[in-house]
Structures are given as structure tokens and as C-alpha cells.
Structure 1
Amino acid sequence: MRLNQYIAHHSKYSRREADKLILAGKVSIQHEIVRDFSYQVREGMKVYLDGRLLKPQDKYTLIAYNKPKGELVSKKDDRNRRVIFDSLPKRFAHFTPVGRLDFASEGLLLLSDNVQVARILMESNLERVYLLKLSGKIQDYVFKAMESGLSLENASAGAHSKSEIRSMDFAPFASFSCIKNTPKYSKIKVAITEGKNRELRRFFAHFGLEVLDLKRVAYGFVHLNNLPTQKSRFLERKEYNKLHEFLQEKLQS
């Protein structure tokens, strides 16, 4: 495994932060300073950061939570709104959410007790699958934009009022299927491979379609299925097996 990957996997630092630490001479292997972040760490080698041994953190837990509307994905809120940790059992208080679902959205949220696992999943191109209800009929040019992608200089429609993000590039949707399409409202199932800030709300708002309901039903190999609202579960063995395979591929790439 590359040295910067090793540090990112076994510490709180990102790969970019690890590069800076390595170049600054703060990383040593077998007590010798190494400034090459592509250095291959082999089994049995001892890596030190600022003189402290980095201990492998290969154990992790992942849970699935069915977030309801009206909860924030946050530790606390300065306006005393309900947060996910008000509903989750106290033993998960130290878990890190994998990305976000906004206040008005619901559905599958993954959380992990390993920050690096949460970060890898969040930054991955795993498919996120959503069920949407929109305020109107989806025209053909909207479907074409879903197929080809979209680049907007002003993507503020559909964004949070305090968001500073204006321009946004939307990758082609991984897949979509229209369930209902009428002048009053439409229902659609979509899969995307990114997790940008209110991405779907911004995309459809550009075409004058308000997202009335948004529910995430899958994240990669984990599916919501019949998990009740405000309830959580541990991953099943087959899901953990797929997660392990995925992480191994990511760490070796």
C-alpha cells in the first residue's frame, strides 16, 4: 500500500494531508524519515507519525439508518431542531455519517465508527438510488439532460438559501426509470454516482420542477428494504463481504 494511503487509512488525516506531512518530514518508517508518499508500505513495517506509531485500524462497523423528514444529519443544531443522534441509540453517538440527506429528505443513511471508511464511501462513485416526486411533468429534454449530463453556471435554484455554491456540473445519471408522469406531478427512480450539495433538487429546479419528496433507497450494495423509519440495523454478512472487497480495491488502486 502507498504510504499516503496507509496514513489516510489508519489515521484522521486525508490522503492530501498525508502528502503534506510526508513532505514535511513528519513520517518515518523503521525510524528513518521518508519523504516519498508513493513509498510502498509492506506487511510488518512500522510507520511513525511525529514519533508515534500508527496502529492499523482494520476493524470497523457500519450501520444503516432510515432517516425521516425533519431530522438533520448533524451532531447538534443551534436552532434546537431534531438531529439523527436524537433517534439513534446512544452507542452510535461517535459514528460518522456517510454524506448527508437534507432536512426535508428521508431514507437510507450509512454511518461508520471508522472515519476513513466513511470518507472512502462518501467520495466513491457507488450508485445512490432515490425515489422522487416532482411538481409537474418531466419533458423529453429533461430526460435527455439526465442521459448526457448538465453544466450550470447558476445552479442556485433548488439550493439552500445560505449555500455559497452557485455553479455545478451534473454527471449523466447512472440510470433512471419513470414511474408516473402527469401534468400535475411525476414519480421517478434515479441512480447517481455523486453526492453533491442538493444535487437532485438543483438539477430538477433548473427545469422548473420542484422536488416534493426525496427518499434514498440504496447506497451501493446496501439497500433500505423494509427498515422502519427512525430505526437502524447492522450490515448483513453479505453486505460486509462486498464492503470489504470494495475497500480492498480502493486501497490498492
Structure 2
Amino acid sequence: MSQQLAKAEKEIRLNKFLSHNTKYSRREADKLIESGRVEVNGKVVTDLSTKVKEGDKVKLNGRYIKPKSMHEMTVIVYHKPKGELVTKKDPKGRKTIYDSLPKRYAHFVPIGRLDFASEGLLLLTDSPRVADILMRSNLERVYNLKIRGSITHAMEKAMQEGMKIRGKKGAHEKSTIEEMEFAPFFAYQILKNESNYSKIRVAIGEGKNRELRRFFGHFDREVLDLHRISFGGISLNNLPKGKTRYLSQKEYDDLHAFIKAQQEAEYLTRKETKNREEEENS
């Protein structure tokens, strides 16, 4: 099974591979590629659209880059404060999480995002494949929010049933996404509901960009504070802002079990698709 799963690994762009497995950002990786300092399977590549797959041999400045294995993975919890970007480098020189994280985590990949004005639990890993699996998963994400104004029945109905919106209220000013669909929330708990401001705890299974800000923005409610307190059963607990911790053994065990199940499900889906295509073409 493991060999079959390995063959099913998807290709990724070379700059993403370099960013995940070295200290360089994707922009810096692009410059390295363009300058002819990267080799794939013994050949210098300068094409930024180059993709690599499992088994490809990648060299940077003449040295092989060893990709991280899921079996060797390390995952950390970071309590991100407001005012930090979840990126390696910012062209405007703004503070990023990597300015605060210990240097030994410079090559770790964030699992999902929290925007500049948001805070709370952020998972990071040294395994790009693990990051990809968890980002695409529907694992529960739990947030505490403070919004301007009251929580209405229409908002509760949308949380219970899901909805599709058009418009960019609550989105980043440079966002080009005009429409967004929201699945029903896993759960929500209204902690305070008053005309000036309200507090609510929500559990969702998606990680779309500024999803909650856009959800409440649709109802003309500004999100004043957004604090993620857990992801996939991994919680902040009493971790201070700006600090990190390793996962507990139980958290690792649960994570390994989830990843194994996801891999097997992905393999079976690919196999069924391939069999169906072969039957249609026969």
C-alpha cells in the first residue's frame, strides 16, 4: 500500500519544493531558479513552471536537498499574535511569524493561515506533504470572535444551513474572489449578544481566506477580534502569545492516524477513478 501511495503523490512546483525544504521563500526560490543555481535530475533548470515529484533529485548550489518525510515530521503549535503575517518574506517589510519564531523553525511550513489582524493557534510542520493534507482537510477549526453589533436569526440560519454570497465585504482589499460558499458550521455558541458588540465561538471545517470575516461582513458585521483556539483537536491551552510548543504524544498519535486514513482514502479515490476511465475507454 505504501508504495502505491507514494506513486500517487502529486507534482508540486519547484519553487514550492524549495520553499518547503530550505530557508528560502518562494520569491527567493524563483530567483535561484532563474539564476541557474538549481538542478533537477542532473540538469540545470531555469523555467519557473518546472514541477517535481517524489523520486526527483533536486540540487541547490551543487548540494542535494533531502525532502522531509511524513514519518520524520515535526509539528509545532505557535500562538500567533496580531500584527504578524503568515509568510516567509513581505515585500513591504512588515513583520512575519518567522521574525518571531526561533531560527530552528525557519524551514517549517504553516498549516493554513491567520491574517494580519487575527491571532491564535497556528500549526507549522517540517513536512510539506503533511501541511498539504491538513490544509485540505475538513478538520474542525474553533474560533472565538468579537463582532460589532448583534447576532441575528438570519446569521444563525446561515450558520446552521450554509449559504453562498456574492460581494467582497470583509475580504482583503486586493482580493479578486467575488463569490464564496459557506458550508454549515459544525457548531456555534453565542457568548454575548448585544447591540453594540457580541461574542461568539464557532467551529468550522474549512480554511478559506478571511472566511469568517466575509461571512459576518455579508450581514454588515465587522469582526473586531478573531482568535483561533484549536485545529483538529489540537488546542492552545495556556500557551502564551508569541510562544511555541511541541505536540503531545497523544496529539502525534491522533495526527498520524488521521494522515494514514486520508492517504488511504485518496489512494482508493484515485484507483476508482482510474478503473472507471479504463472501463469507459475499453
Give the TM-score, by structure 1 length. Answer: 0.81
> Match of 2:24?
none
Report how far residue 48 of structure 1 moved.
Answer: 5.1
- Runs of 5+ unmatched residues, structure 1: 15-46
Structure 2 counterpart of 1:80, from 78, 90, 93: 93
In 2 relative to 1, CA 231–145 (structure 1 residues): closer, same or farther, beyond 3 Å? same
Aligned to 2:30: none
* 1:59 positional shift: 1.2
- Percent pairwise identity: 53
CA contact (8 A) 2:150 2:194 kept: yes
Cα distance in 1 for partners of 2:143, 2:4 equals 34
- Structure 2 CA distance for partners of 1:120 and 1:8, relative to 1, 3 Å: farther
Runs of 4+ in 1 over 6 A off after TM superposition: none
Matched, 1:61 2:60: no
Q: Distance in 1 between matches of 2:4 and 2:208?
A: 25
Note the C-alpha offset of 1:13: 3.3
- The answer to whether the 8 Å contact 1:12/1:115 transfers is no
The one-letter code of the counterpart of 1:62 is V
1:228 partnered with 2:227: no
Note the aligned Cα RMSD (angstroms).
2.3
What letter matches 1:166 in structure 2?
A: E
Residue 168 (structure 1) aligns with: 180
Q: Secondary structure at the match of 1:179?
A: strand
| 1:80 CA drift (Å) | 1.1
- Mapped pair 1:115 → 2:128: yes
- 2:144 and 2:255 mapped to 1: Cα distance? 24
Residue identity in the other structure for 1:185: Y
- 1: CA distance between counterparts of 2:85 and 2:243? 15
Question: 1:153 maps to which residue?
Answer: 166
Q: What's the CA shift string for 1:111-141, capped at 9, x where partnerless?
A: 0000000110110000000000000000111
TM value normalised by structure 2: 0.73
CA distance in 2 between partners of 1:102 and 1:216 (Å): 11
